[in-house]
Amino acid sequence: MLTMAYLANEFPSPVEPYVEEEIVELERRGVCVVACSARTSRSAETSNSDHIPSLVLMPPEVSVVLRAVRLSIRAWVKADSDHFADPLRRE
């Protein structure tokens, strides 16, 4: 059986009803669908959907973002300094 991940911005969502229709059709055709949502649905509690997302990608914590930025800047500075290194210097 084919397994497929369906990633939507927000699921379930009243402004994107076709997402559930597509998931239902894929399941009807024998595909195992793992429904995923990039954001937590604000309308999940009031939705009459039979499907709930198996995975919700939450916004990362601020500390994780800051660490990633710090590491990126550090790598960029190192790459920049290597680029302008003395070409006559032997390593």
Q: What are the extents of the domains in the chain?
A: 3-83
* Mean pLDDT of successive 10-residue stretches along the chain, which has 91 residues: 88 86 94 87 61 72 83 83 59 54
Q: Please, is 65 exposed, middle or buried when counting C-beta atoms within 10 Å of its C-beta (0-12, 13-18, 19+)?
A: exposed
pTM over 0.75: no
What pLDDT does residue 63 have?
83
Dist. CA 17–CA 5, nearest whole Å: 17
